[in-house]
Structure 1
């Protein structure tokens, strides 16, 4: 095709909205009059995106949690499919959310709409059988990790390594002092960022554990400060949880500002997910944790192909940061792991250098590489 494309996008959670916003920024640099619509949030709307549904409608995780929202999610996907088949966008771009997007992409591609999937599903970590769905669903996959295109090529899936958009946004050396001034925490002394997740189910499962761990740490480190960035829709619930259970004395609950919290902190306690990679790009030592419904955990654990769940550990190929999951996601163990970091400055410096090397690896001209690949898809 020639001229400006019309693009449909679907992001299914806060991290996808962030990636989608960065992606749309690059697309609009190439196509200033780009029309985009679908499912997304505030970050995507900043670049002219028209949301037909907010991403929060899809932001559930795990088998047990999805079952409770199954009918609503399926209804949204069916109505979205019908509308897209009528609108006929030039390209559909699924931003992560493979459980929702891949089936939709398969139907749209069968109907003659070009499909691109942004962020290769973690087939190298679990559910390798998804590669067959990628074959059917995607004209092209945009990969954020360098080893993925070769793996996909072995299965006949066209793919391009575009780097990770966050590696271009997050500075190599964050301004810690400026972040601390912004968040209102002391310029000197220890600051710990608490990142319990962005979904309502994660907040309920992880926030009490993280706050209890912080309360224990406060006893041994009375001058430490804790910063907890909260999505606006979940901030009141987080504040309620802080009032109703164990919580540290020095706690700042701030609206959004997760990047400021990571820039300001010395170490972070973070729920497994995209935030762990963000923490690595900020060069922050971390303790990764997660706890989910026992049914979800029992179904997922046998399908996992690697010993790690945290992205920094997966990308480095070893446990460079601790992972305390499920039965080990206990406040005393979390507190102990944070204490080990704070008491080991040489270890902190070593992991920061590993994260610097990782940042260099992921930093590419993502906007150009991604839009080049989309242009080739549109021209094919």
Structure 2
């Protein structure tokens, strides 16, 4: 049998990132056996799925507490299996609360560990660096500014770029995307992206739909498009939409093309109202003006403050485009400020302020060029080196 690589990804974005890594490894070394926790993209590359990715798809501390028994069973089962059948290398993709614990146990047993997507210690809980140092043989980071952080702490690190920057076209084709979605080529379209988690849709979708209702008063011809990642999220969204109906709104579900439906939606729109997270970076790579918003429950906020010992992040931004550009390139409307009136005003500016729109698009183009590396190859090379090095 060839090289054995164990991998864990815990949510759709991680599944997509991990699948690109598998592609890169298979190009260099075709005879590799992959096993672990993942989703449909990893499975399609031939990975043996020991546990479905949904087992780890929890949002923060509150959801984790509710699902703690299931998480513990999954963790224990996978840990015991991997210790009994040692892989040549373990790759944890994001999901730091789960993966760093597992990585430390495996590294103690002599398994080299690679962690892909450095935890945001530059924003919250820098003290996690000590746990990372114990757990991780090699860190792969998405953003160039992270390299100095890990080098300073003596942790081997490689900047591999962001794989999304290679997958998303530098020059988006809005009309082609609209044709694929059956949309009018001449309409003004706002994409609404309230997140991929049930908790996000519960808190953000009502505000976003109320915002759309206000925007229709400003422009009755405005169109709205909403991507949903799966049937469960469609049901969650439809339950809210039934009580807050919006004229000119269409939802789009995932397709079998291998391309996330959200990408078609982002490429087709003029601007977007988007939940903070990976989607905001994807929207930036599609060169779209956006309004970033996020809301967490009071309990979640208290838990985050308690767990981190911080009342707010170390950096003044929450949206990835702003963090990378080190400025408020696009508005962030959060928590109590995230009321429909504020969101609507910002969306109007994002769709109608032509000078602002051109400035934002130029900034996003430069950002795209910085992040556009051969991520799959760079990550694969680092993982294969780690597999042949002591833990």
When normalised by structure 1's length, the TM-score is 0.96
State the partner residue of 1:125: 123
2:274 to 270, 275, 283: 270
State the partner residue of 1:19: 17
Describe the superposition over 1:354-377 as per-residue Cα deviations: whole angstroms up to 9, x where unpaired. 000000000111122112211221
State the partner residue of 1:235: 234
Q: Which consecutive unaligned segments of at least 5 residues does structure 2 have?
A: 255-260, 306-310
Q: CA deviation at 1:25?
A: 1.4
State the partner residue of 2:40: 42
1:356 to 353, 365, 386: 365
Describe the superposition over 1:300-340 as per-residue Cα deviations: whole angstroms up to 9, x where unpaired. 35251111111001001111111111111222221111012
2:335 paired with 1:336: no
State the partner residue of 1:81: 79
Secondary structure of residue in 2 paired with 1:32: coil
2:291 paired with 1:282: no
Q: CA deviation at 1:378?
A: 1.7
Matches within 5 A, 1:58-137: 58-137=56-135
Q: CA deviation at 1:298?
A: 3.0
Describe the superposition over 1:79-130 as per-residue Cα deviations: whole angstroms up to 9, x where unpaired. 1111111121111100001111101100111111110000111111111011
State the partner residue of 2:319: 310
Aligned Cα RMSD in Å?
1.3
Given that 1:214 and 1:247 are in contact with CA atoms closer than 8 Å, whether structure 2 keeps it comes out as: no
State the partner residue of 1:319: 328
Q: CA deviation at 1:346?
A: 1.1
* Distance of 1:54 and 1:215 partners within structure 2: 38
* Distance of 2:124 and 2:223 partners within structure 1: 37
Secondary structure of residue in 2 paired with 1:149: helix
Describe the superposition over 1:190-242 as per-residue Cα deviations: whole angstroms up to 9, x where unpaired. 11111111111112111122112112112211111111100123212212321
* Distance of 1:199 and 1:147 partners within structure 2: 28
Q: Which consecutive unaligned segments of at least 5 residues does structure 1 have?
A: none
Worse overlay, 7-16 or 367-376: 367-376
Q: CA deviation at 1:74?
A: 1.9
Given that 1:40 and 1:53 are in contact with CA atoms closer than 8 Å, whether structure 2 keeps it comes out as: yes
State the partner residue of 2:258: none
State the partner residue of 1:222: 220
* Distance of 2:205 and 2:50 partners within structure 1: 31
1:138 to 136, 139, 154: 136
Secondary structure of residue in 2 paired with 1:208: helix
Given that 1:12 and 1:58 are in contact with CA atoms closer than 8 Å, whether structure 2 keeps it comes out as: yes
Aligned residue pair count: 377
Worse overlay, 300-309 or 102-111: 300-309
State the partner residue of 2:262: 258
* Distance of 1:286 and 1:167 partners within structure 2: 18
Given that 1:267 and 1:285 are in contact with CA atoms closer than 8 Å, whether structure 2 keeps it comes out as: yes
State the structure with bigger RCO (CA 8 A, min sep 6), 1 or 2: 2
Secondary structure of residue in 2 paired with 1:129: helix
Given that 2:143 and 2:159 are in contact with CA atoms closer than 8 Å, whether structure 1 keeps it comes out as: yes
State the partner residue of 2:376: 367
Given that 1:185 and 1:225 are in contact with CA atoms closer than 8 Å, whether structure 2 keeps it comes out as: no
* Distance of 2:378 and 2:8 partners within structure 1: 20
Q: CA deviation at 1:255?
A: 0.5
